[in-house]
Chain A
């Protein structure tokens, strides 16, 4: 339980990476963590800005922004724009960010129908009404992929992309190369 090493100040040379999940399932973040021990090596070159794995709540100027999830409410759009403004490179990660993914299945219905199903018509619902407090962000009438709202620099498909794919694209960028995904890492599922 004794700290073995005092934390050194972050060196300026590290590449700053921010990550976020919009309307997604966090599966892409899980897959990112699936690089297991290899994350230790990555941390020699990378430091994290805003990410669900730390307590930084807003995106600050960064080199790379990894964005999981589609856009389904006003807050998602706000966060996405914050990332675009602050990140030199924005990468759309996973099926939802790229084409809406499973959340986009709600586009087959009106938003009203979805809300009524969940909060009015559901089995065992008590006090049925649709939540409407000011604290709740407004929902978009349709779910959209992120490239329809901001410019996206690179795409990393998969549901989720594998840990190897994350590592490949980040390594390419760290080495100053144009990222490319070998065929065996290219999946849409």
Chain B
């Protein structure tokens, strides 16, 4: 007999070892998330996926599913908190969507749309962060980094490298590159690495490209972030954008690790 949990009153099955997030995604239930990507070890840092489990708050990406859990997910109160978290992510960095080449394909932006975020609410930090354009095929624009560590985990767990890490505390937190000089050019990252394509925002970019997909055909012009199989779409698209594919979707992506 299947074990089950309840999310917003809907009973769904889970397998032993799955987190609440795993079970929800498998059942096509969307729990907002930024730092989670199926296949990579859970991180629990963005806190967007916080749900109420039997009356207690928990990160669904790290909390194991367990028989009898009654979970609240899509509630006005939780979505309001998620909106506040998203606003904080926006004002802590320099997220100027209008000229960013990731606009339309950016998960942070799409989460903002999903939650109905209209403004940043808090005073802007306008931090001064370094752009690293030293690499022949990649650019690191730290202005847009949200410290989700997807690149850190992708590099370590999938690419078998250890290119990225987060350093510093509080407002001084920033993405660093593991190389003798600290520059991307001197690391062993390559264009084909998953770490080069996994960034949910416009922090890790492919050089000489951008704005190639017309407005109206970008990922989030066509999809809502709440489509639970979207992780796959975004990654396949990112990894194939050098092949003149502007449909946004392509078979046989490298996603899935």
- Our verdict on whether A and B bind, yes or no, reads yes
CB pair B126–A155 under 8 Å, yes or no, is no
Interface size class of B (residues with CB under 8 A): 20 to 34
* Stretch in A11-19, A47-55, A121-129, A144-152 touching the partner: A144-152
Of all chain B residues, which has the CB nearest A103? B96
Asked if B118 lies at the interface with its beta carbon under 8 angstroms from chain A, I say yes
* Stretch in A32-40, A170-178, A181-189 touching the partner: A181-189
Contacts of A144 in B (CB 8 A): 124
Asked if B91 lies at the interface with its beta carbon under 8 angstroms from chain A, I say yes
> How many CB-defined contacts (below 8 Å) exist between A and B?
70
Asked if A104 lies at the interface with its beta carbon under 8 angstroms from chain B, I say yes
Q: In the complex, A154 Cα to B116 Cα: how many Å?
A: 13
Q: Name B's interface SS.
A: loop
Q: Name A's interface SS.
A: mixed
Contacts of A21 in B (CB 8 A): none
Contacts of A66 in B (CB 8 A): none
CB pair B118–A108 under 8 Å, yes or no, is no
Asked if B73 lies at the interface with its beta carbon under 8 angstroms from chain A, I say no
Contacts of A104 in B (CB 8 A): 94, 96, 124, 126
Q: Closest CB-CB distance, B219 to chain A, in whole Å?
A: 13
Asked if A157 lies at the interface with its beta carbon under 8 angstroms from chain B, I say yes
Asked if A90 lies at the interface with its beta carbon under 8 angstroms from chain B, I say no
Question: Of residues 88 to 115 in A, which have CB atoms within 8 Å of B's CB atoms?
Answer: 92, 95, 98-102, 104-105, 107-108
Asked if B107 lies at the interface with its beta carbon under 8 angstroms from chain A, I say no
CB pair A102–B116 under 8 Å, yes or no, is no
Contacts of A181 in B (CB 8 A): 116, 118
CB pair B124–A148 under 8 Å, yes or no, is yes
Asked if A163 lies at the interface with its beta carbon under 8 angstroms from chain B, I say no
CB pair B113–A183 under 8 Å, yes or no, is yes
Q: In the complex, A189 Cα to B215 Cα: how many Å?
A: 10
Q: A104-B124, A188-B103 are in contact. Are A99 and B113 (CB under 8 A)?
A: no
Question: Which one, B91, B94, B97, B119, contacts A155 given CB within 8 A?
Answer: B119
Of all chain B residues, which has the CB nearest A94? B98
Contacts of A154 in B (CB 8 A): 118
Contacts of A98 in B (CB 8 A): 118-120
Of all chain A residues, which has the CB nearest B116? A186
Q: A104-B126, A108-B128, A188-B112 are in contact. Are A157 and B119 (CB under 8 A)?
A: yes
Asked if B99 lies at the interface with its beta carbon under 8 angstroms from chain A, I say yes
Contacts of B97 in A (CB 8 A): 95, 159, 188-189
Asked if A142 lies at the interface with its beta carbon under 8 angstroms from chain B, I say yes
Q: In the complex, A108 Cα to B97 Cα: how many Å?
A: 16
Contacts of A187 in B (CB 8 A): 113
CB pair B91–A99 under 8 Å, yes or no, is yes
Of all chain A residues, which has the CB nearest B218? A189
Q: Closest CB-CB distance, A72 to chain B, in whole Å?
A: 13
Q: In the complex, A98 Cα to B126 Cα: how many Å?
A: 13
A-B pairs, 5 with minimum CB distance: A159-B98, A188-B97, A155-B118, A155-B119, A189-B103
